Structure 1
């Protein structure tokens, strides 16, 4: 039984290659920014501890290696226009 379980795990479990927390921040900021008549001048990102922890070390694509939810939200807000 243990060998079957090990075989299933070896064939079906893969490392995570993405993280949804930064995109959720980017999407929320982009949606909010799209409702404004003027460009965003200031941004506050409030997330729970789990979202913060999970997104803090994630490199955001097209950000020159910047990491985290705040940069994702900032790019979402700025690029939504």
Structure 2
């Protein structure tokens, strides 16, 4: 059973060099240009959200900062 996901068509402008890079990646992965662009956007948005969470946590005095060495020692 497959789940139907609603899609929206979006038109965008990009320079020719970026389009060529997208096309190269799509060809290498055996995927469509749309898949590559969607994947890139999803990954970028996740990164931005993670950065915002990190900034909020760093600004919260109640949220302790743990050094890498301390974190590794806890593992």
| TM-score w.r.t. length of structure 1 | 0.29
| TM-score w.r.t. length of structure 2 | 0.31
Structure number with greater CO (CA < 8 Å, separation at least 6) is: 1
